[in-house]
Amino acid sequence: MRLALSKRLWAGIPTEGSSLDYMPAHHADRVVKCVVMDAPAHLHTFETGAPMKQLLGNTDSLQLFPLAYPWAWDMYLENMDNHWTPREISVANDVALWRSDRLSEQERHLFLSVMAQLTTFDVQRGDESAESLQGIIDPPEIKHYLKRLADEEALHTWAYQFIIENMGLDPEDIYSRYARVPEMKARVDLATELSSRAKRAWAKRVFTPEAALSVREKQEILFAIIFWFLCFEGIWFVMGLSGPIQNLARHGKFTGAAEQFQYILRDEFQHIRFGIHLINVYIEQYPECMSTSFVMAIGRLFQETIRLEDNYMRHCLPSPIVGYNADDHIETAKWYANQRANSIGLAPVYQRAEHRFPWMSEQVSMRKEKNFFETRPTEYRTGGALSWDD
């Protein structure tokens, strides 16, 4: 099944050793705009005038300063300022709710399904950052941020475990659902397949450092980076954390878990923002990756991401609940897919996609962070529970 999926996503991309079809001028609207957000792309560092460290350049990963990518270091410091722990957020009301008769079977199924997928996703995301991408990207300030990213995914895993333990849920059931529920397993399998492609390039760099990466291998690395930051985190995580459970919290249910999700989502938006910078730098340094067929493959990747999200949400929510339904969820996911494509200079994947939940940004926004969705947070605070009464 993985092989068939891989072929479908990569259909039309030249195999290694063949010539790439570079994008003609009339497709310029689909070419990535090689502009790094908030950080002008320079060929030399500001501090020394020395050549900039290439992402795949076998540069010295031990010499942190002078910084070639100051935005990566700044984001690391911002993430450190955001540090929190799940113990700061009470889930006592959720425990009482779970033990009461106030929940329908559908709401219980929805909550367990979302928890099961997110717990697996955070384990998988942390492993990928620690075991794959850190070994591929060379500049130390970028590697340093990736270490923090992996640590935050471990923190998120703890947050889910904190909820599971306090609510008395069956951990064996929660942690094994990804392997038993086809709609969950399909998403995990796609992530595993794309990571394995990037890891092959990592192995080549480790065991044969003198061998240059082929264009195909550079494309596979970029494809994986786009998936993890823009699809996995940028769509699956965002919809899982800001959607159905936040809607239940609007009606007084699972407010503790929803608040934990707020903190997690703040971290994830920082990861997405970092990923957008990284992808734009990568494309600027290796523009040969952006062939017509590769851009088309990115479009298919977004479509596959949405298809799997659709299947998953219809498993979680086979019929509507008050304020939420699967159709609106998927339409909003398509809107996010367009936002992610646009962030790296690509045309929208879906025409006229709409964000169907106007309450979502307010519900998951944090105090004094009014531009939380899709923008740079304006103020952070460490520790302390968030208030639902702004």
The model's pLDDT over 195-250, given as tens digits with 9 standing for 90+, comes to: 887 778 778 877 777 678 899 999 999 999 999 999 999 999 999 999 999 999 99
Does position 386 have pLDDT exceeding 70, yes or no?
A: no
pLDDT at 385: 39
Q: Among all chains, which residue has been given the structure tokens 């709609």?
A: 183
Does position 131 have pLDDT exceeding 50, yes or no?
A: yes
- Of the given ranges (131-135, 156-160, 176-180), which has the lowest mean pLDDT? 131-135
Does position 151 have pLDDT exceeding 80, yes or no?
A: yes
d(CA 80, CA 94): 29
- Of the given ranges (44-58, 223-237, 350-364), which has the lowest mean pLDDT? 44-58
CA distances from 307 to 132, 187, 223, 301 (A): 26, 10, 18, 10
CA distances from 327 to 231, 264, 306, 379 (A): 19, 25, 12, 34
> How confident is the model over 359-369, as a mean pLDDT?
62
d(CA 42, CA 51): 9
pLDDT at 205: 74
What are the E-state strand segments in 24-92?
Answer: none
Contact 38, 189 (CB under 8 A): no
* Helices 92-99 and 140-167: angle between axes, nearest 10 degrees: 40
Q: In 3-state terms, the chain is what percent helix, strand and coil (to 5)?
A: 65, 0, 35
* pLDDT single digits (tens) 343-354: 999 999 999 999
Contact 148, 81 (CB under 8 A): no
Rounded to two decimals, what is the model's pTM?
Answer: 0.81
pLDDT-derived band at 124 (thresholds 50, 70, 90) equals low
Does position 315 have pLDDT exceeding 80, yes or no?
A: yes
d(CA 385, CA 390): 13
pLDDT at 123: 75
Contact 292, 87 (CB under 8 A): no
Per the model's pLDDT, the better-predicted residue between 115 and 367 turns out to be 115
Does position 388 have pLDDT exceeding 80, yes or no?
A: no
- Of the given ranges (74-78, 235-239, 240-244, 366-370), which has the lowest mean pLDDT? 366-370
**Interior/surface letters 147-179, b for 16+ CB within 10 angstroms, e for the rest:** ebbbbbbbbbbebbbbbbebbebeeeebbebbe
Does position 16 have pLDDT exceeding 60, yes or no?
A: no
Per the model's pLDDT, the better-predicted residue between 174 and 327 turns out to be 327
Which residues touch 362 (CB under 8 Å, ≥6 apart)? none
Which residues touch 26 (CB under 8 Å, ≥6 apart)? none
Question: HSE on the CB side for 190, CA within 13 Å?
Answer: 27
Q: Which among 161, 324, 150, 318 is positioned nearest to 245, based on CA atoms?
A: 324
Does position 58 have pLDDT exceeding 90, yes or no?
A: no
Q: Which among 31, 277, 269 is positioned nearest to 139, based on CA atoms?
A: 277
**Domains of the chain and CATH, by start:** 93-364 (1.10.620.20)
Per the model's pLDDT, the better-predicted residue between 231 and 43 turns out to be 231
Q: Which among 244, 129, 236 is positioned nearest to 188, based on CA atoms?
A: 236
Point out which residues pair with 332 in neighbouring strands. Answer: none
> How confident is the model over 270-298, as a mean pLDDT?
95
Does position 92 have pLDDT exceeding 60, yes or no?
A: yes
d(CA 246, CA 372): 15
For residue 153, what are its two tokens? 């995914």
Q: Among all chains, which residue has been given the structure tokens 């608040």?
A: 259
Element (H, E) at 111: helix 105-128
**How far does CA 240 lie from the centroid of its chain?**
11
